Amino acid sequence: MAVEYVCCSPNFFIHIAVIVFLVLFAGLMSGLTLGLMSLSLVDLEVLAKSGTPEHRKYAAKILPVVKNQHLLLVTLLICNAAAMETLPIFLDGLVTAWGAILISVTLILLFGEIIPQSICSRYGLAIGATVAPFVRVLVFICLPVAWPISKLLDFLLGHRRAALFRRAELKTLVDFHGNEAGKGGELTHDETTIIAGALELSEKMVKDAMTPISDIFVIDINAKLDRDLMNLILEKGHSRVPVYYEQPTNIIGLVLVKNLLTINPDEEIPVKNVTIRRIPRKDSATWLLL
């Protein structure tokens, strides 16, 4: 039979204090279960190396705690369950049995689940870093029970591997940043275009990156670098110009436009007298990254 305490007696206030503590403790465990377990090890390592100074500090504190994720999960669940199961016992000393059940369910649902998880889902990094030392203590206390269970989970489920993005997922992420470029995103549209293009290299062949030879600007090796040809080269605006011998499809090399800047057009130096660089040759069906 439950013992009821008179209002305003010392035991009454002790019970109230314990009830408040249990609700807050259960809420903290519930929030940390969502906040810490939702943090990917890859995300934390990225933040620890390249995040803001504040995020680097937070990630460095959290990483050692979440490395053994099954042990952390079991510890948080044990503590949460212990607090929720103990709460009705202390409430039973203040109200009737059905009242204790009703109040405990309400308190746990509102202050032990909804509010803590809402807060930790948004500020999980900062909260997790703040209470990391306290979580370490809880892990140590629960170790005799939590460690065997965590090892069993490791055996049955395996260790949780780092969730690395695949190429298609990275491209989608970059495209998303490109769409948000005008809304305060840190990547510009040009940057996202370059990154997306690099990610597509393994899916493209040489012919996909080349310009048809009929559309390119070329010069004859026997041509003279007079004023008209020099003006035409500058007008085209290319940094390199292919050189052909006898017919435009017979490309033998290329000249760097910057090397022509010191040439006097009035001297009409032949193209063959300037440095002609070799062009790497690849079959059109070759993959770009090979």
> At a CB cut-off of 8 Å and minimum separation 6, what does 208 contact?
288
At residue 181, the pLDDT reads 53
Residue 280 lies in a domain: no
144: three-class secondary structure by DSSP:
helix
Nearest to 181 by CA among 173, 172, 189, 170: 189
Q: Which residue has the tokens 């940043």?
A: 177
Over range 140-158, report the average pLDDT.
89
Q: How far apart are CA 23 and CA 236, in angstroms?
A: 74
Query: What is the model's pTM?
Result: 0.60
Whether the CB-CB separation of 157 and 168 falls below 8 Å is answered with no
Q: How far apart are CA 232 and CA 224, in angstroms?
A: 12
Residue 18 lies in a domain: yes
Dihedral class, residue 114 (left if φ above 0, else alpha if ψ from -120 to 50, else beta): alpha
pLDDT, one tens digit per residue, over 184-241 is 556 777 777 777 777 777 777 777 777 888 888 999 999 999 999 999 998 988 889 9
Question: Same structural domain for residues 41 and 151?
Answer: yes
pLDDT, one tens digit per residue, over 114-141 is 888 888 888 888 888 999 999 999 999 9
pLDDT, one tens digit per residue, over 242-288 is 999 988 888 999 999 998 888 888 888 999 899 889 888 777 667 66
At residue 3, the pLDDT reads 46
Residue 84 lies in a domain: yes
Count how many domains the chain has.
3
Domain that holds residue 234: 206-273
Question: Same structural domain for residues 62 and 121?
Answer: yes
Q: How far apart are CA 5 and CA 192, in angstroms?
A: 67
